[in-house]
Every structure is written in structure tokens, then in C-alpha cells.
Amino acid sequence: MNNPGSANEGRRPAGEDEFVTIARVLRPQGRKGEVTAALLTDFPELFASRKRLFLLDEHGHRREVELEAHWFHKNQVVLKFKDVNSISDAEELTGCEVQAPRSERAVLEQGASYVSDLVGCTVYDSGREIGTVQAVQFGAGEAPLLVVKGAKEYLVPFAAEYIEKFLAEQKRLEMKLPEGMLELDAPLKNEEK
């Protein structure tokens, strides 16, 4: 395993295992039922092959829709669904999550993981439980940082050299962290003050 990567293919609402959210409808776009949506995936190119999608409304109701067309505009995606043909039809979709079946997620390269698979994992350091992954932060360095909540909040690099075993199905991440890493942000001891 080289440097593991993390990919966003949306997120999963709590308790949802069958679908991943890949976009969120923001507002109507145009007069023929198109909607503008915020992208929540690292694989926007897959809209070209995804014709069957699902819309999850704010009340938790999901319905299947057929994607007729899409195009990208200003870091967002414009979507045209079959049978959504007016501004008022499109307004009803505002706030809906655009989802794809979990089984249709993009295939990742060896050693890469989905953020949605990491969040919620219990993290162990040399067999000792340190907490649960609450979020993943990008951009602070070469490896993404896991925000792990345990006795306190830890920032742990998701780097190959620290990973012993990642069991996504069991939501378990076993690591061997360098000595003292978890104490970096610890309060000073009396003799250190």
C-alpha cells in the first residue's frame, strides 16, 4: 500500500447503506425543468454513464429518476431529468440529494478509500482504541487528516506507513502511530510549564 488516497463519492446519511449522495439540488436552472446542483463527488465524469439516479427529499422519501442530460457550469452540474419539464417542477426538487446506488460507485485504485467508508470507523493504535473518525480533512499535507474523537479530538494522518489494517465492512481502522503522535496537542505537564 503506497500513500492511500481518499475519494469523495458523496456521503451517506446515517443508516443508509444502499445509496451514496453525489450532488445536492440547489435551484431551478432555465425554463425547461433543469436544476443546478452542487457536486459532492470526485467523479463528476460518471454523470455521462449514469442514467438511473435517485432523489432523496428532506422528508426521507426516495424516488427513482432518469437523467436525460447534464452539463457542467461554474463548478456545479446542471441536470435535466425525464418528466421534469417546467420551472415549477424543478422548484419541487430544490434541496433533494441526488443519489446513486452504492454498488455503482467508481472503482478506486489499490489502497484508496472513500471518505464515506472512513467516517464512523473506530480507530485503534497498536491495539488500543483511540476514538471514532468524525470527518476527513484535505489540504493540510500529502496525507488527508482523520478527525478522530475519543477522550479528546485527534488529527491523525491517513498515511500508508501508519495503517496496519483497514476493514471497511467492520468500520475498523488499525494503525501503528509514531510514539508521541497522539500527545502532540496534549496540555503541558506541571514540570514542562
- 100 and 10 part of one domain: yes
Q: Quick one: 163 exposed, middle or buried, by C-beta within 10 A (0-12, 13-18, 19+)?
A: middle
Closest Cα to residue 76, out of 35, 111, 112?
Answer: 35
**What's residue 188's pLDDT?**
46
Q: What is the pLDDT of residue 85?
A: 96
Q: Which residues are CB-neighbours of 93 under 8 A, at least 6 positions away? A: 25, 35, 55, 81, 84
Query: Distance between CA atoms of 19 and 136, rounded to whole angstroms?
Result: 20
Residue 96 confidence (pLDDT) above 90: yes
Domain boundary among 104, 127, 160: 104
Give me the half-sphere count of Cα atoms (radius 13 Å) on the Cβ side of residue 193.
Answer: 5
The verdict on 140 and 71 lying in the same domain is: no
Give the CATH number for residue 165.
Answer: 2.30.30.240
Please give the Cα distance from 123 to 114 (Å, whole number): 16
How far is residue 184's CA from residue 166's CA, in Å, rounded to a whole number?
A: 24
Residue 34, in any domain of the structure:
yes
Grade residue 13 by pLDDT with cuts at 50, 70 and 90. Answer: very low
* Residue linked to cell 420551472: 87
- Domain identity same for 132 and 166: yes
pTM above 0.85, yes or no: no
Domains held by the chain: number: 2
CATH number at residue 10: 2.40.30.60
* Average pLDDT of every residue of the chain: 84
For residue 130, being part of any structural domain is answered with yes
d(CA 131, CA 138): 20
Residues 47/67, Cβ–Cβ less than 8 Å: yes
Are residue 128 and residue 94 in the same domain, yes or no?
no
Residue 68 has pLDDT above 50, yes or no: yes
74, 143: one domain? no
Same domain? For 21 and 87 the reply is: yes
Print the domain residue range for 135.
119-176
Quick: pLDDT tens for 112-167: 677 778 889 999 999 999 999 998 887 756 778 899 999 899 999 988 899 999 88
pLDDT in tens, 161-184: 999 998 888 999 999 999 888 886
